[in-house]
Every structure is written in structure tokens, then in C-alpha cells.
Amino acid sequence: MSAVRIVCGVGSSRRDYSRIQHAIAVGESKALCGEIALPVLVFDWYLPFEPSLSLSCEACVRLWERQNPVRIVT
């Protein structure tokens, strides 16, 4: 079983129509939050989703964090 690859996507915010970063699975046209978005592709490389950016969709960050829990190593 292969893992779903989550990358950066861009779309328009439902609230203010500003450009924000979404988490989107490769090959999909909807972000984790349900917003229509397109993956950011540079040649043959997908820009990774970065949840710590101020322009990241809050709903996508919450859903992404559920799939990628932070592990504290002691």
C-alpha cells in the first residue's frame, strides 16, 4: 500500500479570494479542505506543502496534521 503524496496547491480563499497555500494530493483537483486547487509544479517537481507558512489554509493544516502527527523524540 502506498502513501498519498501531499503537495502544495494554490486556490482562492472562499472568504476573501486571496491566494493561499492548500494541501493537495498529487493527481487531485481538490485540496484536503475541499477547496478547488491546483498543485504547484516546477518542471517535474511538486512544491511541498509547508504548514508553517502564514499563507497556509488553516483547514488544510489541521487535516494535514491529523495525517502527519508530530513525533517528539527524546
Give tens-digit pLDDT for 3-57.
667 888 887 555 544 578 899 988 888 899 998 888 888 898 988 888 888 889 9
Range of the domain at 61: 6-67
Are 64 and 49 in contact by the 8 Å Cβ rule? The answer is yes
At residue 71 the predicted structure's pLDDT band, cuts being 50, 70 and 90, is low
Is 59 domain-assigned? yes
Within a domain: 72: no
- Rounded to whole angstroms, how far apart are CA atoms 26 and 68? 16
pTM (2 decimals)? 0.74
For position 61, what pLDDT does the model report?
92
Give buried/exposed letters for 31-60 (b at 16+ CB in 10 A, else e).
bbbebebebbeeeeebeebebeeeebbebb
- How many domains is the chain partitioned into structurally? 1
Q: Would you say residue 74 lies in a domain?
A: no
Residue 60's pLDDT is 92
d(Cα 15, Cα 13) in Å, to the nearest integer? 5
What does residue 48 show for φ and ψ, rounded to 5 degrees?
Answer: -70, 150
